[in-house]
Amino acid sequence: MTFGESILRAFFVYSIEIAIIVFAAVLSFLLRFDFAIPPSFAKPLRVAILVWIPVKLVAFKLLALDRRWARFVSLSDLVRLAVSNLTGSVLSAAILIATGSGVPRSAYIIDFVLCITLTAGIRITIRVVGESIRPKSATRDQKNTLVYGAGNAGASLLADLGRNPAVTYSVKGFIDDDPRKTGFVLHGVRVLGTGANLDALVRRHNIDLVLIAIPSASGAQMTRILEHCIAADVPHKTIPGLAEIIEGGGLDRQIRDVAVEDLLGRVPVSLEQDRISERIRGRVVLVTGAAGSIGSEICRQVARFQPGALVAYEIAESPLFHLQQEMGRVFPQIRFHAEIGSIQNPARLREVFATYSPSVVYHAAAYKHVPLMEAHLFEAIENNVFGTMNVVDAARNQGVREFVMISSDKAVRPANIMGATKRIAELLVRSMQPPDSTYVSVRFGNVLGSNGSVVPLFKDQIARGGPVTVTHPEMRRYFMTIPEACQLVLQASTMGKGGEIFVLDMGEPVKIVDLARNLILLSGLRPDTDIEICFTGARPGEKLFEELIAAGEGLLATHHEKVRIFAGASEQWDQLSKTIGRLRNAVERRESAILMNTVRTLVPDYCPPGGLASNGGGQGERIMVGGTS
């Protein structure tokens, strides 16, 4: 809006308000005297108008009514309008009474009622007229739509769709699983029935699309809604939770396909932004495994807090290149340094640490796929154990004060070599911590959509027409979204005093077979009818249930509801280093039996599957898809 337009708009607003004040004043006197004002009250009327105009205009200005668009008037605006009218009327009455103006007492009350009615009425009229004359999309382009959810989100979505002339949705009604809402009308649109009626309603109203407007729905609720949509054979989309809405604007611009994350029903993470910013802003942060699913998301989350520089250390060239391109596009103000190197190369690590002198390190580099690591014991130890030692050594030598290692729930009573290596890495980070520093580990479970995880594997099987292979009908895993896990990693990194192992709240475990069924539903297909689910048997190193803590151990609460501290035994470096030395000798000599015995010494509750002690690595095995990695 130009300066001239602003002046014109202010003139128009104040002219309308003055006209309302004068009209209300005259009408209040007319009503008081039955539309026959005595000549003796003409002067009090003039005095009243001369007082009411400036006082009420000042009250309107103080409460910013002149800056609120009538086209978008809301309940909060009406409350503010009532308060401003009451303030102006009370102050005016005080002045008029104190000066002995002779205004009748009843005129004060009548004027207040009239003024609030007229100021509110004209704003509501402008909004109603504005919405009624708004241009519409061509009818032939619109999709007959039902909104699933007759709550606040559904009402807001309908309002947003109405305000946007470019939308292609013609809302024919609401659906809500609360039968008490059936027949209610929201913004002129009726609640037609419950999800159980969806099939019939789709046919009756020739519905092209269902918009799911329940961002707070639990995973079970979303699954049930999805089943109703699949049964009705109708396309469906959803609106996101509050965090995504804030990032992206209005609800109508946030409509998207239902994702597997929606079926988890996870509550959005609440972060202590100031504490995280204090740790990161203006400092050099280094991330290992930076181009992986977890490492790259940590880079994105760190970049939001304006680090002095962000160093991405990664061995995979192509993913690192793509991350570099993304960071330059999304965070052009951040000094981003892509560095190729392996955590198994201590000389390269020392070189990178010396070049950038990082203050904070997030160590996400690791081998993580359970069946592959069962077939490659030596490689698992070399990367996850000795690689972590190399990173910690480089950090210690460069004086890094804050170090965070990404661990796994598979480190608890590990049944596979991957989990055992992560437990040893936790012990190393704790025992190698230098004085006056904060070296911690953060332990969590599976993340949806990570590279090579079960979700993309299931999607690939569904795309090929099935079957979807699940290892065991009772196989359960904890799941988080990648952004949620990485946000909580940043949160936990602000809470350590040194040596802690933080455990993230993973919610309730999810059956892998239920996840498979949900992904089939998300594809618009029916489990066991369109896509078969087959059970292949548990793989070596897999447990039916992952654990967050082992027997005899405990979790201590922190001030953040989703972060706990693992309370377990620790070992001093001078004791641990001897056993690590034996482990290194076993790897160098490729002696798998000695390696396995040494791992059991370091991790007494490690329970490897039978026969793996003689499987030294290098010999791959056929891997069945469908458990978890």
| CA pair distance 281, 566, nearest whole angstrom | 28
- Looking at the domain assignment, is residue 308 inside a domain? yes
Residue 499 · residue 570 · CB < 8 Å:
yes
How high is the pLDDT of residue 320? 96
Band of pLDDT at residue 616, cut at 50, 70 and 90: very low
How high is the pLDDT of residue 291? 93
Provide the CATH number for the domain around residue 328.
Answer: 3.40.50.720
Band of pLDDT at residue 250, cut at 50, 70 and 90: very low
How high is the pLDDT of residue 211? 86
- Looking at the domain assignment, is residue 621 inside a domain? no
From the list 457, 404, 157, 194, the residue with the least C-alpha distance to 295 is 404
How high is the pLDDT of residue 185? 80
Do residues 335 and 247 both lie within one domain? no
**Unique residue bearing structure tokens 């104040």:** 14
Last residue of a domain, one of 132, 160, 186: 132
How many structural domains comprise the chain?
3
- Looking at the domain assignment, is residue 584 inside a domain? yes
Do residues 77 and 119 both lie within one domain? yes
pTM reported for the whole predicted model: 0.61
Do residues 253 and 211 both lie within one domain? yes
> Which residues sit opposite 535 in a β-bridge?
470
- In sign, the C-alpha dihedral spanning 241, 247, 249, 254 is negative
Do residues 172 and 107 both lie within one domain? no
Q: In angstroms, how far apart are the furthest CA atoms of the chain? A: 116
Mean pLDDT of the chain: 80
Residue 606 · residue 412 · CB < 8 Å:
no
Last residue of a domain, one of 78, 113, 132: 132
- Which of these ranges, 69-83, 170-184, 375-389, has the smallest mean pLDDT? 69-83
- Looking at the domain assignment, is residue 492 inside a domain? yes
The SS3 of residue 284 is strand
Residue 447 · residue 453 · CB < 8 Å:
yes
| CA pair distance 266, 258, nearest whole angstrom | 14
Do residues 74 and 164 both lie within one domain? no
Do residues 187 and 235 both lie within one domain? yes
Do residues 11 and 150 both lie within one domain? no
- Looking at the domain assignment, is residue 524 inside a domain? no
Q: What is the pLDDT of residues 146-202, one digit of tens each?
A: 888 888 778 777 777 766 655 677 888 898 888 888 888 877 788 898 888 899 999
The two tokens of residue 595 are 């390696």
Q: What average pLDDT does range 592-604 have in this prediction?
A: 91
Given a cut of 50, is residue 629 above it in pLDDT? no
Given a cut of 50, is residue 243 above it in pLDDT? no
254 CB contacts (<8 Å, ≥6 apart)? Answer: 239, 240, 244, 245, 248
Do residues 127 and 144 both lie within one domain? no
Do residues 366 and 332 both lie within one domain? yes
- Looking at the domain assignment, is residue 575 inside a domain? yes
Q: What is the pLDDT of residues 77-121, one digit of tens each?
A: 778 788 888 998 899 999 999 988 888 989 999 999 998 898 888
Last residue of a domain, one of 68, 98, 132: 132
Do residues 26 and 162 both lie within one domain? no
Do residues 349 and 382 both lie within one domain? yes
More confident residue, 390 or 237: 390
More confident residue, 260 or 364: 364
Do residues 401 and 279 both lie within one domain? yes
- Full residue range of the structural domain in which residue 77 is found: 3-132
- Looking at the domain assignment, is residue 188 inside a domain? yes
Angle, CA 148 vertex, CA 143 and CA 152 arms, to 5°:
115
- Looking at the domain assignment, is residue 542 inside a domain? no
